Chains A and B, each alone.
Chain A
Amino acid sequence: MSRTIPARHGGPAAAPLPQRKNSLSLRLKRISRAWQLYVLLAPAVIYILVFKYWPMYGVQIAFKNYNPVDGFTGSPWVGLTHFIRFVNSYQFGQVVGNTLWIAILGLLVAFPIPIILALLVNQLQSERFKKFTQTVLYSPAFISTVVVVGIMFVLLSPRSGLVNNAIQLAGGEPVFFMGSAEWFRPVYVISDVWQNAGFSMIVYLAALAAIDPALHDAAKVDGASKLQRIRHIDLPGIMPVVTILFILAIGNLLNVGFEKALLMQTPLNISSSEIIQTYVYHAGLQQAQFSYSAAIGLFNSLLNLALLLVFNTIARRANQATLW
């Protein structure tokens, strides 16, 4: 059973059946016979053309001076001006640095934890406790980002929050978590784990459930301990899923949690909370610098794409599962 996650095109190709001489007319016939399928597909195709490809076409404004009257096509070209301005701006280092910091910290901390949790939950003997743990751990995924950040603000409040009450009880000084630049990253990553680790765990649990129990039985007969079985059976068993999810995480590295970062931003922590995408939002939508911010967004997308391609290639070289 192959356990590759996202499919580019699943299964065997749409078979170009044995071609005859009059293949064109045959083809037209097949197409016309399938017209109802095209009708079913049409809304989805129209959707991506309008809301995905039209914006992609519009990305050209990154190289133009966009004005609403001339639109995407008519605005005058200015080459790389906006990119150069961004790279030379004083925010460049800070914004890119903050983005990488959060992304890498998130990957190092938030990526392995669901795997560890899944391995621990999977070895539980009691089905009921297993189910209970699963349900509890993944319930925060259903709380909205707004509410999670709201929870942070009330629990971490310097005057009345639970955490600071505990700190004061222990004799410490209250900390203004949401209003300090150095606490932004820890709070961001910890809350991310709190909210999402349980949900990410589910995929790994599914992969673990697909491992042949006979392997475990055989290992037990040979006297393997639980830890050894986890290391030599469970972990290799879920490795393809881990690799795929890792590549996907890399591909989304710089898109991580933009909404949450935006919600967590306060004027006091902006020096570590302003990431590329929040900067695009501020410069583009709040200050209406459309071309400049589109250029920054494009910079972000391209960086992401490059990371994805590099890691997919590495995975292929290492003979691991790949996206394609």
Chain B
Amino acid sequence: MSLITNPRTTDTPNRTVSQARPKQSLRARYGDRAFGIAATAVLVLSILAVVYPLYFIVIASISDPNAVYEGKVWLLPSGITTEGYERIFADSRIWNGLGNTLVYTVLGTAVSVSTILCGAYALSRKDMPGRKFLMLLFVITMFFDGGLITKYLVVRDLGMLDTVWAVVLPGAVGVWNLIIARSFFEHTIPNELREAAQMDGATDFKFFFKMVLPLSKPLIMLMIMIHVVAHWNSFFDALIFLNDDTKYPLQLVLRNILIQSDVSSTGTTGGDIESYAAAQRIAELTKYAMIVVSSLPLMIALPFMQKHFTKGAMIGAVK
């Protein structure tokens, strides 16, 4: 299994070969160059299409809201202000949401990753009787599930509504992640190692905790990251299972402010139209700042995480 990218270093002999057969490849070479330019152009445009909206949001978040409103901000911020950020950091809803998100993320990741690692290891053991049946039990749930309503009713019957567990447990084990972890174990833990350990009297527990886990650091990192990102970004379970807004995670708070335009700070100004409009613009400014603040942690961590995620995608693809 070739997990790691294999850079096409072999591309270079091209030149020598084409020199050997100049006539045929001359046209091909021009065609290739044209194609190469077109392809690069398409990719550069795609990059701009991805980056520019984000860049705009960053500069809008530190620009004078009136300049943004009048469409004067395009490439550089104008009339630098930090009021948007100040307002966010003064907003207790944001801090409270952030605190909740941290709790849910840490707890949720711990529960998910440990359940997945242990379960996937057991399922990777070909000598475990009933392995096929047990695997089937998991796979079925990928193709059919009971749906939103019954899931809600089950969580309610378990008395988990409005508790941390409603956000942590219902989505704890993704079958897809379980399969990724299982194939990792199947491919990286040699049978011989286990047999040798068993000869020395190691139990399955001992072998798993003392040998398998230390050998599986890349997998553990990948699983931790998948779940941290998922928890940091999730809002839906909180939306349906939590009523108490002091328990809302950051994303749900953001949704109420960014999308539902929860204008508690601007709507009641009453007064004249002008001050209302000004308040509205400040609210917009705050939204830009909020988008930046909430996405920044993951964006900063991205270069570090990328390696692991790319590998993960490949474990999935290559099986």
A: residues with CB less than 8 A from B are 1-15, 27, 30-31, 34, 36-41, 43-45, 47-48, 50-59, 61, 66, 71-72, 117, 120-121, 123-125, 127, 133, 135-140, 142-147, 149-151, 153-155, 157, 159-160, 162, 165-166, 168-169, 194, 198, 202-203, 206-207, 209-210, 213-214, 216-217, 220-221, 223-227, 241, 251, 259, 262-263, 277, 280-281, 284-285, 290, 293-294, 297-298, 300-301, 305, 308
Nearest 10 pairs between A and B by C-beta?
A55-B146, A44-B119, A165-B71, A297-B147, A150-B258, A144-B233, A58-B150, A36-B204, A41-B122, A55-B150
From the candidates A36, A48, A285, name the one contacting B138 in the complex (CB within 8 A).
A48
- Asked if residues B122 and A40 are in contact (CB atoms below 8 Å), the reply is yes
Could you show 28 A-B contacts with beta carbons less than 8 Å apart?
A7-B183, A7-B319, A9-B139, A10-B182, A10-B319, A14-B128, A14-B129, A36-B204, A47-B173, A48-B173, A55-B146, A55-B147, A55-B150, A120-B42, A136-B47, A138-B306, A144-B233, A144-B295, A151-B57, A165-B71, A194-B53, A202-B313, A203-B313, A203-B316, A216-B11, A220-B17, A223-B21, A284-B149
Query: For the complex, is B6 an interface residue (Cβ under 8 Å from A)?
Result: yes
Q: How far is the CB of B11 from chain A (nearest CB, A)?
A: 7
B: residues with CB less than 8 A from A are 1-2, 5-8, 10-11, 13-14, 17-18, 21, 24-25, 28, 31-32, 35-36, 39-40, 42-43, 46-47, 49-51, 53-54, 56-57, 60, 68-69, 71, 114-116, 118-119, 121-123, 125-132, 134-139, 141-154, 157-158, 169-170, 172-173, 176, 178-179, 182-183, 186, 203-205, 208, 229, 232-236, 240, 251-252, 254-255, 258-259, 261, 281, 284, 287-288, 290-291, 294-295, 298-299, 302-303, 305-306, 309-310, 313-314, 316-319
- Asked if residues B146 and A58 are in contact (CB atoms below 8 Å), the reply is yes
CA distance A51 to B60 in the complex (A): 43
Give chain A residues whose Cβ lies under 8 Å from the Cβ of B125: 34, 37
- Asked if residues A308 and B143 are in contact (CB atoms below 8 Å), the reply is yes
Given the contacts A263-B255, A284-B148, A36 and B205 also touching, CB distance less than 8 Å: yes
CA distance A277 to B210 in the complex (A): 45
From the candidates A51, A54, A56, A146, name the one contacting B255 in the complex (CB within 8 A).
A146
Give chain B residues whose Cβ lies under 8 Å from the Cβ of A124: 39-40, 43
Give chain B residues whose Cβ lies under 8 Å from the Cβ of A40: 118-119, 121-122, 204-205, 208
Q: How far is the CB of B88 from chain A (nearest CB, A)?
A: 13
Give chain A residues whose Cβ lies under 8 Å from the Cβ of B121: 37, 40
CA distance A5 to B139 in the complex (A): 13
Given the contacts A45-B134, A202-B310, A294-B147, A135 and B303 also touching, CB distance less than 8 Å: yes
CA distance A220 to B11 in the complex (A): 10
- Asked if residues A280 and B291 are in contact (CB atoms below 8 Å), the reply is no
Q: How far is the CB of A129 from chain B (nearest CB, A)?
A: 8
CA distance A198 to B51 in the complex (A): 12
Q: How far is the CB of B94 from chain A (nearest CB, A)?
A: 13
- Asked if residues B288 and A223 are in contact (CB atoms below 8 Å), the reply is no
From the candidates B8, B261, B288, name the one contacting A213 in the complex (CB within 8 A).
B8
- Asked if residues A259 and B236 are in contact (CB atoms below 8 Å), the reply is yes
Consensus secondary structure, chain B interface: helix
From the candidates B53, B128, B143, B254, name the one contacting A34 in the complex (CB within 8 A).
B128
- Asked if residues B147 and A59 are in contact (CB atoms below 8 Å), the reply is yes
Q: Which residue of B lies closest to A120 (CB)?
A: B39
With A139-B302, A142-B229 given, name 9 new contacts (CB 8 A). A1-B1, A1-B2, A43-B115, A55-B146, A55-B150, A153-B261, A165-B71, A166-B71, A194-B49
Give chain B residues whose Cβ lies under 8 Å from the Cβ of A151: 53, 57, 291
From the candidates A3, A11, A145, name the one contacting B235 in the complex (CB within 8 A).
A145
